[in-house]
């Protein structure tokens, strides 16, 4: 896909992200996560993870970002988690648990990526990466208890 087409897709999805219907916003979050490496997607993705209207949007967007399995997705989630209110942080935690509970290899890789993000020059990203790493570590502890 060309950069022009990718930019057009992000623009269209950003428009969908501003819709009143939470289903539309959740769909936008899931799809925008595929374009998270594009700078123009970062702001809308943060807004969707911290969606003021419905935490279903938070969960759907967070899961899609985490399922990318890369630093970009984790960085967006970490940036949002750094400023999330307790309710949104709980839903981000639920998404983290749902995505990473199945595979310890994927969880361990995410922990390593978060460790690297804690050295980011961006203070918000560092703070959120530490919180995200704590959530991931808690999965490991809960699995050991069972």
Domains of the chain: 3-145 (1.25.10)
Q: Which helix (H) or strand (E) holds 108?
A: helix 104-117
CA distance 25 to 53: 10
Q: Give Cβ neighbours of residue 38 (< 8 Å, ≥ 6 apart).
A: 6, 7, 10
- The closest alpha carbon to 25, from 77, 66, 70, 62, belongs to 62
How confident is the model at residue 146, as a pLDDT?
Answer: 47
Residues 132 and 77 sit within 8 Å (Cβ to Cβ): yes
Residues 49 and 29 sit within 8 Å (Cβ to Cβ): yes
When the pLDDT of each residue in the chain is averaged and rounded to a whole number, the result is: 94
Number of residues that make up the chain: 146
pLDDT for 42-56, tens place per residue? 999 999 999 999 999
Is residue 144 scored above 50 in pLDDT?
no
Q: Which residue has the tokens 């998404």?
A: 95
Residues 114 and 134 sit within 8 Å (Cβ to Cβ): no
Supply 76's token pair: 């967006």
- The closest alpha carbon to 30, from 39, 135, 44, 20, belongs to 44
Is residue 93 scored above 60 in pLDDT?
yes
Supply the DSSP symbol for 68: T
């Amino acid at each position: 896909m060309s950069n022009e087409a990718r930019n057009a897709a992000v623009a269209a999805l950003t428009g969908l992200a501003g819709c009143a219907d939470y289903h539309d916003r959740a769909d936008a979050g899931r799809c925008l996560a595929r374009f998270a490496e594009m700078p123009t997607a970062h702001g809308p993705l943060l807004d969707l993870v911290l969606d003021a209207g419905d935490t279903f949007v938070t969960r759907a967007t967070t899961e899609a970002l985490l399922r990318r399995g890369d630093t970009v997705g984790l960085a967006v989630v970490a940036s949002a988690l750094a400023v999330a209110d307790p309710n949104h942080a709980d839903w981000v935690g639920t998404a983290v648990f749902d995505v990473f509970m199945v595979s310890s290899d994927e969880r361990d890789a995410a922990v390593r990526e978060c460790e690297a993000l804690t050295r980011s020059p961006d203070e918000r990203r560092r703070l959120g990466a530490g919180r995200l790493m704590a959530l991931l570590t808690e999965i490991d502890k809960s699995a050991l208890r069972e």
